Amino acid sequence: MLNENNSQDSRRGLLIVVSAPSGAGKTSLLQAAIAADEQLAFSVSYTTRQPRSGEIDGQHYHFINHEEFQTRIAADDFLEYAEVFGNLYGTSSMATELVLKSGRDLVLEIDWQGARKIREHGMECISVFIMPPSLPELQRRLESRGKDSNEVIKRRMAEARSEMSHWQEYDYIIINDDFTQAVGQLATIIAAARLRCSIQTTRIENMLSDLA
């Protein structure tokens, strides 16, 4: 008889690329989704920016200096990397592959530049773009955080318009107006992606082999 647990474990994990402008609620949505789904893992990116209050090295990001980041670029250590607001961010190729080989699904929280590079690599993935309900609401959210100056908020709004112009490059769009609804929509997208034929190939082949 087919051991369903072994069959499930033998599948390759699903790569889930999620992007959004700053203030759209992407991080909160992903935290809620991962907390509710033990099959999901979160990719911890490398960055040259300084840690913010409450951030832990190795948990939120791998914080490294510019020189080390450039050394990793030269060694082809990154699956993708990009510059955002003067800071560099990158995704480890090795860490990504280890998680996917283990059978867990991996969430990459990256911008449109990184998402494009993932597609250029030819990696199978699903991509989700998180939209704010409106630009005025996005600005209100940025202002309500109380973390940035007016000048920084102005720059973030300009970057948001640029980021949102790439929405058509993604498989799915979620408009984060109602948080609970948006979390449910993200969970639905992931559940549907897990039912793709390409994702279930190993499991089905093993099943048919046992019936032979």
The helix or strand, by DSSP H or E, that contains position 107, with its residue range, turns out to be: strand 105-109
For residue 7, what pLDDT is reported?
A: 41
Is residue 160, in this structure, part of any structural domain at all? yes
For residue 212, what pLDDT is reported?
A: 61
The gap from C-alpha 34 to its chain's centroid, in whole angstroms, comes to 11
Q: Is the backbone of residue 96 left (phi > 0), alpha (psi -120 to 50) or beta?
A: alpha
Residue 20 structure tokens: 């959004």
For residue 52, what pLDDT is reported?
A: 87
* Residue showing tokens 């949102």: 164
Is residue 15, in this structure, part of any structural domain at all? yes
Is residue 20, in this structure, part of any structural domain at all? yes
Q: Which domain holds residue 125?
A: 4-43+103-211
Is residue 23, in this structure, part of any structural domain at all? yes
Is residue 59, in this structure, part of any structural domain at all? no
Is residue 150, in this structure, part of any structural domain at all? yes
Q: How far is CA 156 from CA 21, 75, 151, in A?
A: 8, 32, 9
Cβ-based neighbours of 100, under 8 Å, separated by 6 or more: 12, 13, 14, 15, 106
Q: Are the C-beta atoms of 202 and 6 separated by less than 8 Å?
A: no
Q: In sequence order, which ranges of 37-108 are alpha helices (DSSP H)? A: 66-74, 93-102
Is residue 61, in this structure, part of any structural domain at all? no
Q: How far is CA 68 from CA 46, 64, 180, in A?
A: 10, 6, 40
Report how many domains make up the chain: 1
For residue 122, what pLDDT is reported?
A: 86
**CATH code, domain with 149:** 3.40.50.300
For residue 179, what pLDDT is reported?
A: 96
Side-chain-facing half-sphere of 53: CA atoms under 13 Å: 1
Q: Are the C-beta atoms of 163 and 115 separated by less than 8 Å?
A: no
* Residue showing tokens 């494009």: 116
Residue 14 structure tokens: 């699903």
Is residue 151, in this structure, part of any structural domain at all? yes
List per-residue pLDDT tens for the chain, 212 residues long: 334 444 444 678 999 999 999 899 999 999 999 999 999 999 999 999 999 888 999 999 999 999 999 999 999 999 999 888 889 999 999 999 999 999 899 999 999 999 999 998 888 899 999 999 999 999 999 999 877 889 989 999 999 999 999 999 999 999 999 999 999 999 999 999 998 877 777 777 777 877 76
Q: Are the C-beta atoms of 23 and 138 separated by less than 8 Å?
A: yes
